Structure 1
Amino acid sequence: MSFCKGCFSGVTHEGTPKGTAPTFGIDFIAPQVSLLGKWEKIGGVDCYVGTPTIDYPKDKVILYLPDVFGPQLINAQLLIDDFAANGFKTIGIDYFEGGAVSVADLESGNVDTKAWFAKHSFERTQPCVDRVIAALQEQGTTTFYATGYCYGARLAFNLAVENVTKASAIAHPSFIEVPKDLEIYLAKSQAPLLINGCENDARFPPEAQVKADELLGGDKFKPGYRREYFPGCKHGFAVRGNTSEPLVKAGKEGAFKATVEWFLKY
């Protein structure tokens, strides 16, 4: 498995994240301070944390597992803020430890993907996720959910197969081997799975999405399964899609709405 061009391209979105900028000096927009979102170290890992301003269950957390641009990307912060605004405490984990792809590289699409991945393999990022989970458990969190995008979908699968998470929602996943990983999910996981798929996706094309339906749909996966399909969208649409295009805007908003509904259900 590998990356595709869409893993390292897209557009930045307009808006002001609610948290303060991280301290490790990457060239991202420095947002304003608010009660909704802020940067914290959890288990020694930098995390962008979205906390609802309304009452919410203190023992439950959504783990936001980002694509290669990490939670430093304004798009990711806006999504985390939106999850918090819907009543979910949400933790965006910087498992790239300051090495996420920058906005400049997003705009240019000029990234040595092999060199980047050699520094940020799953063997290096998974321990960061595990440290965050352990620290949150020490603070009283008992129930975890995971939403993973592109790279982060692989980590969401790992957590679900280990039954660390109660429910999973992934969008345009990379590094999911079909049918092998879907069969493992079916056999081992108890976490209901939502897949937000799209029309143009080299990493998880429509035929892979249909295979997921064959393996997990029709009540075959008892905990729960659902797939959303967004025409006119391409890999990265749920985070980095060009929302000036009506179908892409509908896809991005539809994927977020489906994810919120999924977590509310479970």
Structure 2
Amino acid sequence: MSGPQCCSSPPTLDAASGAGHVENLAGFNTYVSGSLQSKLAVLLVSDVFGYEAPNLRKLADKVAAAGFYVVVPDFFYGDPYFSDKPDRPLTAWIKDHEPVKGFEDAKPIIDALKSKGVSSIGAAGFCWGAKVVVELSKVALIQAVVMLHPSFVTVDDIKGLKVPIAILGAEIDKMSPPELVEQFGEILKANEVDSFVKIFPKCSHGWTVRYDANDPTAAACANEAHKDMLDWFTKYAK
């Protein structure tokens, strides 16, 4: 996951953004939006810029408005990646924040949700977070998964999936180029896993959470992906 594309268009982090609130969940600072009364939850796992990204929190609020209890944990322990720090390149930051650690950290989050009466959980991962949710799906800890402009995810990962998955990729993406995303889709078909694979034309890696809200075209592309994600959870996380 090295390279500039993964870190292009970094968000301005804002701890006060969003209509929800931050609370402690299983020992993690977690942005929470929505009501537990629905008994349906969605776990959003961020890209390298972390859980304070305003567009990510707006998306959490949007999913919550559709009837889900949404949680966005800080799996970076207050240490998101900052691309303007040349003394700590992404490769060094990743060594401190391997996705496999995110997978292990997600387990107590899921346990905490179930202890609150949640009966079904969907999980979406963005870039770094995609690897986390794929690992969760291999052991069927969740009911549905969505990957958006994934990084780190391999063909072998896809072969191990056990739950319905939607993969939303970008036409302009060195991290998961269209041909790799299409290969993922062929594997899922052969393994008879319910799946939805879509390549967004003219979009770049990170477009679903790092878009400029003042750019109508960029916002429309992001909203289309958000709708696809929400439709998937509505269908399978129930």
TM-score when normalising by structure 2: 0.90
Q: 1:224 to 1:109 in 2, by over 3 A?
A: farther
Partner residue, 1:240: 210
1:232·1:248 contact (CA, 8 Å) conserved in 2?
no
Contact in 2 for aligned 1:233/1:247 (Cα 8 Å): no
Letter in 1 for 2:43: L
The SS at the match of 2:38 is coil
2:183 is matched with 211
1:262 is aligned, of 203, 227, 232, to: 232
Give the letter for the 2:234 counterpart.
L
Q: Secondary structure at the match of 1:263?
A: helix
1:42 aligns with 2:25: yes
Between the aligned partners of 2:217 and 2:200, the Cα distance in structure 1 is 8
Q: How far apart, CA to CA, are the structure 2 residues paired with 1:84 and 1:9?
A: 28
Question: Does the CA contact (< 8 Å) of 1:11 and 1:242 recur in 2?
Answer: no
Task: Note if 1:97 corresponds to 2:80.
Answer: no
Aligned residues with identical type, % of pairs: 29
Q: Secondary structure at the match of 2:201?
A: strand
Q: If you compute each CA radius of gyration, which structure gives the higher value, 1 or 2? A: 1
Q: What is the deviation of 1:124?
A: 2.9
**How big is the shift at 1:129?**
1.1
Paired residues, number = 235
Q: Does 1:144 align with 2:121?
A: yes
Alpha-carbon distance in 2 for matches of 1:207, 1:134:
36
Deviation at 1:139, TM superposition (A): 2.0
Aligned-residue Cα RMSD (Å) equals 2.2
Q: Secondary structure at the match of 1:147?
A: strand
Query: Structure 2 unaligned runs (5+)?
Result: none
Give, in angstroms, the shift of residue 78 of structure 1.
1.0
| Structure-1-length-normalised TM-score | 0.81
Which residue of the partner structure matches residue 112 of structure 2?
Answer: 135
Q: Distance in 1 between matches of 2:10 and 2:95?
A: 25
Q: CA deviation at 1:109?
A: 7.9
> Could you give the per-residue CA deviations for residues 53-105 of structure 1, whole angstroms, max 9, x where no partner exists?
xx9522x2101011011111112111111111121111001111111124xx3
1:31 corresponds to which letter in structure 2? A
Question: How big is the shift at 1:170?
Answer: 0.9
Moved over 6 A (4+): none
CA contact (8 A) 1:48 1:91 kept: yes
Aligned match of 1:161 in 121, 138, 152?
138
